[in-house]
Structure 1
């Protein structure tokens, strides 16, 4: 039996991901130029993969689901085994999607 290597149909487009990465990079560069201390910077509290992924999902109209405590709903991905699978709500209802493997 052959398994398919499929990604989720609601994953962000490459264009959205690229735009989000560029926005994040520009913000980090701007803060460095302005002399923002490293510990107070965006760079200190972002991840170069997960943050643009979440930004791109938001840009495409998906809402990241949160716990009652307002923390993001995150699970371990069954495919890549990383704690990077987020819960979203979109026009097709609720779904989960991994920021790393898009499963």
Structure 2
């Protein structure tokens, strides 16, 4: 499915897991996330409401729809500076 389905489902699973762990008495000392996980982490940490997080996830997912399937990503075991250096001068690719 596209990002308008995958991203809200990912968010829902992440905040649901945090709620289950909380119901079992587990409290995180810290939370961290990437992409949609940042919103789930903010909700888990109490930095935003569950509803506000869901609204942002859904809006972001709709905004990502036009870009879906038009890019690629590779994970490499290099320091960021070295990856940047190796990619210097190439168009259409960046280190992130």
TM-score by length of 2: 0.36
Greater per-residue strand proportion: 1
Greater per-residue helix proportion: 2
Where relative contact order (Cα < 8 A, 6+ residues apart) is larger, the structure is 2
TM-score by length of 1: 0.34
